[in-house]
Amino acid sequence: MTKITVNGRAVEADPKQPLIAACHANQADVPTYCYHPGLTPVGSCRICQVEVQQGTGPARVVVACRTYPAEGMVVQTESEKAHEVRRECLEFLLKNHPLDCPICDKAGECDLQDFTYTEGQSAGRSHEPRRPLEKRKSLGDVIVLDEERCILCSRCVRFFEEVTKKPQLTVADLGSRSTIATFADRPLTGNYQGNIADLCPVGALTLKKFRFQARVWNLVKMASTCAECSRGCSTTVEVLRGGEVKRFRPRDNPAVNQWWLCDTGRFAFEHVNAGERLDGARTRESLAAVAELLAEDPAALLVASPFCTQEEGALILGFARSRGVQAYFLSPAPNGLKDALLHTGDPCPNRRGLTELGFAPLSPAEIGSPKTLVLFGERSAELCGTALARAGRVALFDCHAAALPNVAASIGVPTHVERSGTWINIDGQRGVLGAARPAPAGVRPLTSLVPELAALLRAQAVRP
Amino acid sequence: MRKFETWLLERATVPNAHTLAVYKQLGGYHALSKVLKGEKPMSPADVVNEVKLSELRGRGGAGFSCGMKWSFMPDPQKDPRPRYLAINADESEPGTCKDRVLMEQDPHGLVEGALIACYAIRAQAAYIYVRGEYRLSYQRLQAAIDEARAANLVGKNILGTGFSCEIHMHKGAGAYICGEETGLMESLEGKRGHPRPKPPFPAAFGLWGQPTTVNNVETIFNVPFIVARGGAWHAAIGTKGSKGNFLCGVSGHVEKPGVYELPFGLTARQIIDEFAGGVWKGRKCKAWFPGGSSCALVKGEDLDVVLDHDSLKTKGSSLGTAALIVMDDQTSIARVMEIIARFYDHESCGQCSQCREGTQWLSQIFHRIATGQGQPDDVATLESLAKGMAPGKTICALSDAAAIPTLSAVRLFKDELLECVKQKRDTLPYPRVEYAGAH
Amino acid sequence: MALPERLVREFDELVKKYPEKRAALIPALHRCQEELGGWLAPQVLEDLSAYFQLEPVEVYGVASFYPMFRLRPAGKHVVSVCHNISCELRGATQLLEHVCKLTGAKPYGTSPDGKFTVWPVECQGACANAPMFDLDGVYHEDLTPAKAEKILGGVR
């Protein structure tokens, strides 16, 4: 580590990381566009200019993303000169940038808005018409490009090159005619397109699925974990007042997903918004019905959804042990989405956690035709698929109903965005869930339902 | 007629000097022989020292000491990676047409210089990056390399001395920014010509990440002469801080535009009057660029300044590529700056915010002023924008190159520009063609 | 579609000059433009990307950077007229106007008969012999409207 001074405070800086990292780690909020910790620094936007002084030399203005800490370096990020050069830089960026804020999805989380607010000047001087370019260029199923808003930071270009290792975008033409483009207007492909909308510091690259959906300051945000595979990428769930999840976004996690999220996970919020939820109106009667089924069949097959948390799993396992039976979790086959980056291809978010607790995996085919089948947890009916119809009688704890004649009792449970808990990912990393919105009225989590079920059974056993 | 020693253009006027036979007759490859197998063969360090002694400064516009630049190459014991010489033949600075003369008419001179330079910096290969439009230069150089190879002067075991060196021709494709040394390297590697942030410098991280020296054509062309006659000989010619002869391209409103070989020490007026036939049509000079369009304008009344590195600084300008562009008293400065600003807008690679947007903005403002659509705050805005574009705020100096002439135009010709704005017309209008499309 | 065999063989030799194959891309783009119709069609860029083991978008990014590469068809003959400062000071505007009149093309445009594309260009390094134009790769310098007329008139 190298000893430097940032805004008068002595700090330790990693000499292998650009100065901007040391600034950000020490409350010096130097603005950035082209710099991103997950991409090679290019030093092109010039907004991260700071003043640096070494030894007896004069202070000079440098870009923090391409300068490396040296012993004794004195860094000023808030000097008059630093602010002056950033203000100049912003004026150049705003010269052609359209005044789209009122209709731009990025408003409220836009780095150009934010830095103009803190560092920019209040009036523009340009008499020139802004350059007219394509404003809604479809780049395929996921992304829309607004060429006029683009500030040519090239993060999107570098993302495909360096992270997915397959270039799909380029800067085309040069100078003031530069645009971001694919080859021959071909659509983007692959399962990581959504990341460029996160990376884009402005509203040039936006998600079709988020277009005009919400103003971001009306979204309630909760830290959570992706449910779509055993990678368990860290996410933020964003809910619009009224209850619809409008977005999943990746949350930085160096140990799991760095800064990225695959599109399968990113757009999975559509599942959790699906209507026709099992409600909590008849929970007590249904629980009693389940208890009766279980009392009649000591060999009832107890199967947890792979979405069950550690907390839920511990209770289900305890319950199974009290009945002297093995607890299982549903283990559907790999779904073919495995890639070299994040997706594991295993649709069980908590396979490792449940296995470590003591559950045994059970594929839908292995369910066979049990007399009684109890399914605990969200998407368990869906994951069973056709196997569900072969069971004798089914007690279902799930989010949605299964329209089958052999379902004797159904009890609503929260989805993974409506409850808290822990999953363990493929590498043993803990992923937390947080409730971003309340479950439908009366719907209680398994952590509450399973003990109540156990209590009901104990009460029945005591009765003569 | 003023008399002085010349060497740069000596062979160029001899018929067929571009062929090996004639080149050798005129003393060609003597310097190479002297270095490799003369009475006192020179080591690479000896060659570097001789060039340092000569005080030869780069002729591509930056004027950096050639010997010092060579000495930045790492010690091959410590860094044994392959290393390269890249010769910058991308000559694209407006007003500049001197390297072309050397390449077309004396290509072996460049080949010999390249060989000696490679020897000095211990490079195994040189790439000559020629701008795509210079087809004859490319052909002549390629033919010269082929002749030299056949005569065991290029390739393996040159003149049986164990020194091996390859020279490859490479073609650019019309981008001025590829004359910037790191833009050149990106382009040579087959990419967009985006200049690289420095540090690292080419000697540490050059072509394909390996130690590289980039030199201008005319700079390298001087090397055989320096090695043959000694650095002290070269340092005795010229002025303090600007040694030797240089090729001065005089263009614009003169009777005899041309490329003239001159020693440092002459004033702009002497050059124009004694070599270029004087300002044309009996007119007076209103303004001039000393060294291409990337330096500050100088007023016509200041022609009595010596055209060298240090003297031009006293007039707020610089030598650049020594492309002396003369503008007579009927010239519209607004029109001149419209063209200059448009050039930088066209050529900006677009990486840096200030340059990408600023070059376009300057171009748009000058266009409006020159076409009678100026706004009252335009001249002040030009000055302010140019100050935001320089100095040293961007990856490379193109932003500075656009800002410097702009600031000089405002400094020296503010009244004329303000008059164009006030009168709502170009006060010295040129006939103009309406441009139909993109530039 | 693939590159003609003769070009592939040429490129196989070309890449030997460099430690990395990609360095031959810009010279290869020149050759393709020269040999395959005077411009670089998307198919050509795609074929080149296969040869150089790059993605087509990378080749497109390179080709679109350089003013000498045409990504749209041009006329049979291309007249590049310099309109930078040294040429302008000696009458480039009048020359350009005249060339447009003679050919019937607008600046940056192609004549209706498809014979000429007239392209204003930046400094071509002929400043001491201004004004000038480049006709199909050959410089014509020290031009006057009359000389221009003679040269263009002689073009088939």
* Domain range A2-78, CATH class: alpha beta
Bridge-based pairing state of the strands A234-240 and A430-433 = unpaired
Do C112 and C86 share a structural domain? yes
Domain count, chain C: 2
In degrees and rounded to multiples of 5, residue B396 shows phi and psi of -130, -175
For residue C42, pLDDT over 50 is answered with yes
Q: Which positions 55-114 of B are in contact with C (Cβ < 8 Å)?
A: 82, 91-97, 99-100
B186 touches chain A (CB under 8 A): no
C58 touches chain A (CB under 8 A): yes
Are C129 and B133 in contact (CB < 8 Å)? no
In DSSP terms, A422 is beta-bridged to: A432
Distance in angstroms (rounded) separating the CA atoms of residues B418 and B437: 29
Q: Which residue is listed with tokens 């060659």?
A: B47
State which fold the B20-236 domain adopts.
Rossmann fold (3.40.50)
Sort B301 into a burial class: Cβ within 10 Å, 0-12 / 13-18 / 19+: exposed
The tens place of each residue's pLDDT in chain B, 439 residues long, gives 788 999 999 999 999 999 999 999 999 999 999 999 998 889 999 999 999 999 999 999 999 999 999 999 999 999 999 999 999 999 999 999 999 999 999 999 999 999 999 999 999 999 999 999 999 999 999 999 999 999 999 999 999 999 999 999 999 999 999 999 999 999 999 999 999 999 999 999 999 999 999 999 999 999 999 999 999 999 999 999 999 999 999 999 999 999 999 999 999 999 999 999 999 999 999 999 999 999 999 999 999 999 999 999 999 999 999 999 999 999 999 999 999 999 999 999 999 999 999 999 999 999 999 999 999 999 999 999 999 999 999 999 999 999 999 999 999 999 999 999 998 887 776 666 655 444 3
Do C61 and C96 share a structural domain? no
Q: What is the pLDDT of residue C1?
A: 66
For residues B383 and A205, is the Cβ–Cβ distance under 8 A? no
Q: What is B107-137 written as a DSSP string?
A: HHHHHHHHHHHHHHHT-SEEEEEE-TT-HHH
Residue ending a domain, among C34, C65, C96, is C65
In DSSP terms, B65 is beta-bridged to: B57
Nearest by CB to residue C128, choosing from B251, B339, B434, is B251
C123: domain CATH number is: 3.40.30.10
Interface test with chain C among B83, B97, B332, by most C beta carbons within 10 Å: B97
> Does residue B199 have a cis bond before it (omega within 30 degrees)?
yes
Q: What is B3-42 written as a DSSP string?
A: -----TTTTTTSTTTTSHHHHHHTTTTHHHHHHHHSSSPP
Distance in angstroms (rounded) separating the CA atoms of residues A30 and A8: 15
Structure tokens at A140: 């395929």
Q: What is the pLDDT of residue B437?
A: 45
- Closest-CA residue of chain B to C27: B171
Domain B333-423 architecture: Up-down Bundle (1.20)
A197: left (phi over 0), alpha (psi -120 to 50) or beta: alpha
Tell me how far apart the terminal alpha carbons of chain B are, to the nearest angstrom. Answer: 45
- Give chain A positions within 8 Å (CB) of C48: none
Strand order in A49-53's β-sheet? A9-13, A2-6, A74-76, A49-53, A60-63
Amino acid letter for position B282: G
Pick one of 3.90.550.10, 3.40.50.740, 3.60.21.10, 2.60.40.650 as the CATH number of A283-462: 3.40.50.740
For residues A295 and A457, is the Cβ–Cβ distance under 8 A? yes
- Closest-CA residue of chain A to C49: A183
For residues A442 and A430, is the Cβ–Cβ distance under 8 A? no
Nearest by CB to residue B251, choosing from C80, C93, C130, is C130
Q: What is the pLDDT of residue B429?
A: 67
For residues A259 and A194, is the Cβ–Cβ distance under 8 A? no
Are B435 and C107 in contact (CB < 8 Å)? yes
- Give chain C positions within 8 Å (CB) of A172: 60-61, 64
Q: Would you place residue C136 in the very low, low, confident or very high pLDDT band (cuts 50, 70, 90)?
A: very high
Do C82 and C144 share a structural domain? yes
- Give chain C positions within 8 Å (CB) of B82: 19
Structure tokens at B43: 């080591």
For residues A9 and A25, is the Cβ–Cβ distance under 8 A? no
B343 touches chain A (CB under 8 A): no
Residue A304: strand, helix, or coil:
strand
For residues A14 and A69, is the Cβ–Cβ distance under 8 A? yes
Interface test with chain A among B178, B180, B342, B351, by most A beta carbons within 10 Å: B351
B155 DSSP assignment? B
Q: Which residues contact A287 (CB under 8 A, 6 or more apart)?
A: A409, A411, A449, A452, A453, A456
Structure tokens at B28: 């060609």
Task: Report the 10 Å Cβ neighbour count for A38.
Answer: 16
Are C60 and A167 in contact (CB < 8 Å)? no
Q: Which residue is listed with tokens 């289900």?
A: A316
How many interchain CB pairs under 8 A, A with B? 89
Q: What is B176-230 written as a DSSP string?
A: GGGGSHHHHHHHHTTS--PPPPSSSPTTTS-GGGS-EEEEEHHHHHHHHHHHHH-
Tell me how far apart the terminal alpha carbons of chain C are, to the nearest angstrom. Answer: 31
pLDDT beneath 50: ranges in chain A: none
Structure tokens at A265: 């996970």
Do C26 and C85 share a structural domain? no
Structure tokens at A338: 């495995």
**C-alpha neighbours within 13 Å on the C-beta side of residue B102:** 28
Nearest-CA neighbor of A93 among B352, B380, B347?
B352
For residue A278, CA distances in Å to A158, A387, A398 come to 45, 21, 7
Q: Name the residue range of residue C92's domain.
A: 77-153
State which fold the B239-328 domain adopts.
Ubiquitin-like (UB roll) (3.10.20)
B73 DSSP assignment? S
Q: Which residue is listed with tokens 């649709």?
A: A347
- Closest-CA residue of chain C to B130: C27
Do C58 and C26 share a structural domain? yes
Domain positions in chain A are 2-78, 283-462
Nearest-CA neighbor of B248 among B268, B230, B228?
B268
Residue ending a domain, among C65, C96, C117, is C65
Interface test with chain A among B346, B349, B353, by most A beta carbons within 10 Å: B353
Q: What is B281-341 written as a DSSP string?
A: GG--EEEEESSSTTS--EEGGGTTSBSSHHHHHTTT---TT-EEEEEETT--HHHHHHHHH
B175 touches chain A (CB under 8 A): yes
Q: Which residues contact A346 (CB under 8 A, 6 or more apart)?
A: A229, A230, A334, A335, A338, A426
Q: Give domain status of residue C20, yes or no.
A: yes
Q: Give CA torsion, residues B111, B112, B114, B120, to 10 deg.
A: 170
Distance in angstroms (rounded) separating the CA atoms of residues B85 and B72: 13
The interface predicted TM-score of the complex, written ipTM, equals 0.98
Q: Give domain status of residue C71, yes or no.
A: no
Distance in angstroms (rounded) separating the CA atoms of residues A37 and A77: 19
Domain positions in chain B are 20-236, 239-328, 333-423
Do C81 and C149 share a structural domain? yes
Q: Give domain status of residue C72, yes or no.
A: no
Element at B140 (helix H, strand E): helix B135-150
Bridge-based pairing state of the strands A143-145 and A205-207 = antiparallel
Distance in angstroms (rounded) separating the CA atoms of residues C75 and C90: 27
Residue ending a domain, among C36, C65, C94, is C65
Structure tokens at A93: 């960026």
Q: Give domain status of residue C143, yes or no.
A: yes
Whether pTM > 0.90 for this model: the answer is yes
